[in-house]
Amino acid sequence: MSAISTSTNLPPLESGDRLTRYEFERRYQAMPQNIKAELIEGVVYLASPVRARGHGRPHAKIMTWLGTYAAATPGVDLQDNATVRLDADNEPQPDALLRIEPEVGGNSRISDDDYIEGTPELIVEIAASSAAYDLNDKLNAYRRNGVQEYIVWQSYENRLDWFNLEQGRYVLREPDTDGIIRSQIFPGLWLAVNALREGSMAEVLAVLQQGLQTAEHQAFVERLRS
C-alpha cells in the first residue's frame, strides 16, 4: 500500500496514476521539492534519477545554445524545467523551452501563481531512446496543442530529431548541405547538428553567431521591440 503524506493527508504521486490536472497539481505540491513529475495525456510520469552523460551533459549543451540565442533576442524567454499548463490532460515539465512573450505575439503567458500557461513555440526534450514517451504520448500532446517546433535528443543513440508543425502534423527536418537546421519560428536560431552530437560546442556557438548576424534575425528583433 502506498504511503500517505502526513502533512497533507494526500496520496503521493505514483507513475501510472490517472488524474485530472487539478488533482495532479494538488498532489504534486505536496511532494518533496526534489521530485519531478509530469502529467501526459492524463497519466502521471515520475522522472528517473538524472544520469550525467545520458542527460545532464546534453541538457547543459542545449541550454548553452538556447541561452545564447535568448540573450541576443529581447522578447524571447528561455525556461529550464518549467511546468507548463498545456491543456486539461497535460502538464509537462520540458527540459527546455523557448517562448515568445505574449505582449509581442507569443502563445503562452506566466500565470499569477507563476506557471506557464498555453503553448510555447519551441520545446526540447532529452530522451533516453526512441522508446521514451517523449517520442510517443508527449509528442502527440505537443502536436495537438500546437507546439511549432519540437526537438528530441535521444542520448543513447546520440540522435537528434527536429520536428516542425505543418498542417497539424509533425514533419521531421533534415540538416541542409552545411549540416545546419535553421528554425522557422525563431529567425537566426541555427543548429550545427553533428557538431552538437560530437560535443563541439565552439562550432555550435560559432554557427549560431552566424545566424544571429543575419538580416532575418535583426528584422525579428526589431519586430519584437516594436
62-77 pLDDT, tens digit each: 999 999 999 999 999 9
pLDDT exceeds 80 at position 155 = yes
Give domain status of residue 190, yes or no: yes
Give domain status of residue 20, yes or no: yes
Mean pLDDT score of the chain, rounded to an integer?
93
- Specify whether 129 is located in the same domain as 208: yes
User: How far apart are alpha carbons 59 and 48 in whole angstroms?
Assistant: 15
Long-range contacts made by residues 216-220, C-beta under 8 angstroms, separation at least 24? 216/187, 216/188, 217/72, 217/73, 217/187, 217/188, 219/187, 220/73, 220/186, 220/187, 220/188
- Specify whether 217 is located in the same domain as 142: yes
Give domain status of residue 3, yes or no: no
For a pLDDT cut of 90, what percent of the chain falls above it?
A: 84
- Specify whether 28 is located in the same domain as 97: no
- Specify whether 38 is located in the same domain as 131: no
- Specify whether 19 is located in the same domain as 112: no
Give domain status of residue 42, yes or no: yes
Q: What is the CATH number of the domain that holds 119?
A: 3.90.1570.10
- Specify whether 24 is located in the same domain as 128: no
Give domain status of residue 165, yes or no: yes
User: How far apart are alpha carbons 165 and 143 in whole angstroms?
Assistant: 7
- Specify whether 113 is located in the same domain as 175: yes
H or E stretch covering 167? none
Of 130, 131, 53, 133, nearest in space to 92 by CA? 133
Report field, pTM of the whole predicted structure over 0.85: yes
- Specify whether 116 is located in the same domain as 25: no
Residues with Cβ < 8 Å from 6, sequence gap 6 or more? none
Give domain status of residue 2, yes or no: no
Q: In which domain, by residue range, is 124 found?
A: 51-225
Q: What confidence category does residue 131 fall into, taking pLDDT thresholds of 50, 70 and 90?
A: low
Q: What confidence category does residue 144 fall into, taking pLDDT thresholds of 50, 70 and 90?
A: very high
Number of structural domains, the chain?
Answer: 2
- Specify whether 42 is located in the same domain as 59: no
Quick one: pLDDT at residue 128? 78
- Specify whether 140 is located in the same domain as 42: no
Give domain status of residue 176, yes or no: yes
pLDDT digits (tens, 9 = 90+) for 30-73: 998 888 999 999 999 998 888 899 899 999 999 999 999 999 99
Q: What confidence category does residue 9 fall into, taking pLDDT thresholds of 50, 70 and 90?
A: confident
pLDDT exceeds 70 at position 191 = yes
Average pLDDT, stretch 146-169?
Answer: 96
Give domain status of residue 205, yes or no: yes
- Specify whether 100 is located in the same domain as 65: yes
